[in-house]
Amino acid sequence: MSPRNQVLGHSYSWFERPPGFVFRKQRTRGGANLILRCDDVLLPTLAERYGTPLYVYSATAIREGLKVFQTAFRDVLHTICYSVKANSNLSILRLLAKEGCGFDVVSAGELERALAADSTVARRVVFSGVGKSRDEMTAALKAGILIFNVESESELLLLAECAAQQRKMARMALRVNPDVAADTHPYIATGLRKHKFGVPTGAARRLYAMAAKSRYLKIAGVSVHIGSQITETAPFGEAMMRVADLVRALRAEGHAIEYVDVGGGLGIEYQQPRNNFVEYVANYARAVIEPLRGLNLHLLLEPGRSIVGPAGVLLTSVLYKKQNDGKRFVIVDAAMNDLIRPALYRAYHEITPVVQRQNSSREETVDVVGPVCESGDFFARDRNLPEVEEGDLLAILDTGAYGMVLASNYNTRPRPAELLVSGKSVKIVRRREKLRDLYAAEL
Ligand code: LLP
């Protein structure tokens, strides 16, 4: 195996990079280097032109991710309602809407973004969340969304009231909690009885009966979402078995159940070796479809991370290197305010130098940390990396989902710019914040 295949301390080939992000050999005076690119654009060029920290997304990878889902579910009636919370950049929403996507929104803000991206998309929008306010329901009714995923009795009553006020039918599904365990971080598991989400399957029939009595509610479906970053397909199948039973019971009671909203949650591989994504999504589709076979349903799917996660990187520059006793630190210009997943979930993100010098194979064990004044401000701990120098560029991989959307201005740090690359074309899809933006709303 050549040294370049071992740069991160384990073996991989650059074919196993997230699609859209590939190393390309570049001859320089000092020998050949491998340089990471996004689609057809070299990342160092982007860092030079737009500065760091910088989010870079591959439009090709996003389109491909969506296509994999569309193909896996092609034999059943379905709508993919991309979960806006994963990455809500307008240009990404626009790109997805163009490819036929609908949206899963959880706030009036996300609804407004979806409509700004495509003013005709409302009929493909589902509204989820345990705490929809009256104003949010009203906005969604006005827009004419496809379906409200209702999560409690009180919410059902309020939705009926809002719909009556506007004399508009509200299509609704109850989000049921199927009580299935799925292996993921406790903060993002949602499918158990102890979680705040949905209503217990046992209570659902009573609530559907209640909904049926309301003149402005139209029962249309059943919805679930068992959690996020779930990398086994079995729990999805188990949830669907429970949903299938419920659909049969509800239909027997005379309710017209047309849709099943499967939720999102399919995880991605943040570490090597990466799985074969096409096969993986096909397995997921089989697990979901099989229990529902013969029920003649329209499936709604709410993937977020699995479509945009691998399609983005966070570029950051090495500011300093330092050593405290035995411990080596690489201090970079991105921080927990730009990407909070490692701090919040102890999430692992692969980090790679953007330029890999082929004639240097030295590695060191380092913590990659940001400038924020907290020890929780780290991107990697005790990670083997090829030796980097101050000024080098690093890419934090798989940060297209739950990266920028969770960014904050902590320490009064401006949020990064975002670029969308498609082939050779580069678009700034969000400019870097200026310092004065950060206090512009303060009186
Ligand atoms: N549908 C509903 C109702 C959801 O609550 C979520 C995610 C999704 C769909 C999309 O799930 P996905 O396909 O992206 O897994 N910030 C965390 C993830 C939180 C997920 C919240 N709900 C993280 O960085 O891992």
Note whether 145 and 173 are within 8 A (CB): no
Residue 104 Cβ inside 6 Å of ligand 1? The answer reads: yes
With the most atoms of ligand 1 within 8 angstroms of its CB, the residue from 305, 338, 344, 349 to mutate is: 305
Backbone angles phi, psi at 180, to 5 degrees: -115, 140
User: How high is the pLDDT of residue 35?
Assistant: 94
Residues 6+ apart with CB under 8 A from 177: 190, 191, 192, 193, 195, 197, 198, 199, 200, 201, 224
Residue 201 Cβ inside 6 Å of ligand 1? The answer reads: no
How much is the average pLDDT of 83-103? 98
Mean pLDDT of the chain: 93
Cα–ligand 1 centroid distance for 84 (angstroms): 9
**Banded pLDDT at 1 (limits 50, 70, 90):** very low
Indicate if the pLDDT at residue 306 is higher than 60.
Answer: yes
Indicate if the pLDDT at residue 15 is higher than 80.
Answer: no
How much is the average pLDDT of 289-314? 98
Residue span(s) of the chain under CATH 2.40.37.10 come to 3-58+310-439
User: How high is the pLDDT of residue 14?
Assistant: 36
Cα–ligand 1 centroid distance for 132 (angstroms): 17
Q: Nearest CA to 246 among 214, 207, 194, 191? A: 207
3-state secondary structure of 212: helix
> How many angstroms separate the Cα of 131 from the Cα of each of 125, 157, 257?
17, 13, 24
Strands 125-127 and 298-301: unpaired
**Banded pLDDT at 9 (limits 50, 70, 90):** very low
User: How high is the pLDDT of residue 17?
Assistant: 57
With the most atoms of ligand 1 within 8 angstroms of its CB, the residue from 228, 266, 281 to mutate is: 228
Residue 211 Cβ inside 6 Å of ligand 1? The answer reads: no
Of 6-15, 214-223, 317-326, the range with the lowest mean pLDDT is 6-15
How much is the average pLDDT of 408-435? 98
Nearest-atom number in ligand 1 for the CA of 190 is: 5
Residue span(s) of the chain under CATH 3.20.20.10 come to 128-303
Residue nearest to atom 9 of ligand 1 (CA): 264
User: How high is the pLDDT of residue 265?
Assistant: 96
What's the pLDDT tens digit per position in 44-78?
999 999 999 999 999 999 999 999 999 999 999 99
The more confident residue out of 335 and 11 is 335
How much is the average pLDDT of 278-294? 97
User: How high is the pLDDT of residue 28?
Assistant: 76
Indicate if the pLDDT at residue 402 is higher than 60.
Answer: yes
Residue nearest to atom 20 of ligand 1 (CA): 228
Fold observed for domain 128-303: TIM Barrel (3.20.20)
User: How high is the pLDDT of residue 12?
Assistant: 34
Nearest-atom number in ligand 1 for the CA of 128 is: 3
Indicate if the pLDDT at residue 5 is higher than 50.
Answer: no
Residue 302 Cβ inside 6 Å of ligand 1? The answer reads: yes
User: How high is the pLDDT of residue 189?
Assistant: 74
Indicate if the pLDDT at residue 359 is higher than 80.
Answer: no
| Structural domain 3-58+310-439, CATH architecture | Beta Barrel (2.40)
Cα–ligand 1 centroid distance for 227 (angstroms): 7
Q: Tell me the catalytic residues.
A: 373
Residue nearest to atom 22 of ligand 1 (CA): 228
Residue 399 Cβ inside 6 Å of ligand 1? The answer reads: no
What's the pLDDT tens digit per position in 144-189?
999 999 999 999 999 999 999 999 999 999 999 988 888 788 777 7
**Banded pLDDT at 10 (limits 50, 70, 90):** very low
Note whether 392 and 317 are within 8 A (CB): yes
pTM over 0.75: yes
User: How high is the pLDDT of residue 160?
Assistant: 98
